[in-house]
Structure 1
């Protein structure tokens, strides 16, 4: 009996074929038709036609002036820019995160927005805080995490409204989206006012954290840094007193490295 391995069973042929269409466009062949794509990928014309239709609908391929020719659409750039942006941020932030972790002797994390969730792009771990397995690449919800709240709070009203609709699909988030999102909006308002967010054991018992935003040259929030601690060692007042200042110093330094200029006090 021919038994498939887990790797073989998990391989999605249609996805691989779609990606193969994108991969064959290059500097020498920026515009191609169905026949060209079929020849270069080895796929049948009917298969290529369906894949091109799907990719065109999604915006990854667009038609060009020449009859029945296609080229890569601007949306393809978003894939590369997202990766380059997070990798650049991680590389630039790493020494500052290391310094912060050494200073406070606690675990420090960096995350970026990933759809309606966050994704860890760096983690400086000192010791096991609580029984929760987090690592670079881990994804968490936004509403009940300090970094997630920072990443969500500075989005525009349309984004927040759509995010609230997403939350309604999560039964465990009921208290945040009920009453038209009263609790969620209150949290977001506090984050914008204070320029930091706190998770008071809302993600998991025994874990507290405080997070602050990282801004780019234009002042947009491109990431969040948090300090995660055991609630048995840090009361809420102690967390605020001991950790907010060094955290802010770190996120300000990272932001300035990205070209952000902090508003000067006293200048109107």
Structure 2
């Protein structure tokens, strides 16, 4: 009986951990606070259970409660974990100085991004010094098929991931978003051949991004480096120049991660 009771206790504990992690996942750039009713609805649990979970997270510093609104916000413990991850990340440490140089050279905001399921997430950013900037958020998940970094990562991914993205549905965010699976696959092949990706007005109007792959010592693509700018600052005749700068930056980061290329495609100017 004790063994059965112990097993049930462990199972209940794991379920609570899973629920707590799901709560943290509910926070986003668009949803910076949560109420008990929202948490209960999203987790499909009673309000009393939601309150107990939020209390546990609050005691550990992962959330705090606004005394006026009674809503919960992410706490400093989350920031602390993020700082540890950043400090301990070979990828981030390798990328940071080169992103600064890339922004200085191009004048545009630069990022390093990784795949997260069917999405792409920015890990680090160096802001542009132009007065007109493109607002991007660290940690925000964007669709792989509609961004420069996302398409770059998708181009070098296994076919199963491309299939999963297509099966989920290709939502049109602008009139230029690729929603035809055949055209998307053709473009991904083109990206692999030229060694970089360009997304122009596909996720947001008047926004262009150019991305290149970062390889590790096993010759696997582990991240994408990109620049993001208002489209009017990246006319067709400068795309090739900007792409070469992005590819060079990605190559330098790859080298620091132990990558030794056999052959690499050379960035060239796009016809568009």
TM-score by length of 1: 0.64
Q: Aligned residue for 2:109?
A: 107
Query: 1:98-177 maps to which residues of 2 (within 5 A)?
Result: 98-127=100-129, 132-167=134-169, 170=171, 172=173, 176-177=178-179
**SS in structure 2 at match of 1:209:** strand
2 CA distance for matches of 1:160 and 1:86? 30
2 CA distance for matches of 1:244 and 1:167? 29
Query: 1:66-85 maps to which residues of 2 (within 5 A)?
Result: none
Matched, 1:259 2:261: no
Query: 1:217-228 maps to which residues of 2 (within 5 A)?
Result: 217-228=217-228
Per-residue deviation, 1:171 = 6.0
Change (3 A) 1:99 1:122: same
Counterpart contact for 1:86–1:112, Cα < 8 Å: no
Q: Aligned residue for 1:48?
A: 10
Change (3 A) 1:244 1:198: same
Change (3 A) 1:86 1:117: farther
Counterpart contact for 1:111–1:122, Cα < 8 Å: yes
Instruction: Deviation per CA, 1:50-71: give whole Å up to 9, x if none.
Output: 4458999xxxxxxxxxxxxxxx
1 CA distance for matches of 2:4 and 2:260? 49
1 CA distance for matches of 2:91 and 2:216? 10
Change (3 A) 1:53 1:139: closer
Change (3 A) 1:118 1:86: farther
**SS in structure 2 at match of 1:137:** coil
2 CA distance for matches of 1:127 and 1:190? 32
Counterpart contact for 1:214–1:252, Cα < 8 Å: yes
Unaligned runs of 5+ in 2: 19-84, 265-272
2 CA distance for matches of 1:112 and 1:48? 34
Q: Report the structure number with the largest CA radius of gyration.
A: 1
**SS in structure 2 at match of 1:143:** helix
Instruction: Deviation per CA, 1:113-152: give whole Å up to 9, x if none.
Output: 1111011101111146767531222221111110000111
Mean Cα deviation higher: 133-142 or 108-117: 133-142
Unaligned runs of 5+ in 1: 1-32, 37-44, 57-82
Change (3 A) 1:165 1:195: same
Per-residue deviation, 1:88 = 2.2
Change (3 A) 1:212 1:34: farther
**SS in structure 1 at match of 2:89:** helix
Counterpart contact for 1:34–1:49, Cα < 8 Å: no
Segments of 4+ moved more than 4 angstroms: 33-36, 51-56, 83-86, 128-132, 171-175
Query: 1:20-59 maps to which residues of 2 (within 5 A)?
Result: 46-52=8-14
TM-score by length of 2: 0.63
Per-residue deviation, 1:202 = 1.3
RMSD of aligned Cα (Å): 3.1
2 CA distance for matches of 1:182 and 1:130? 36
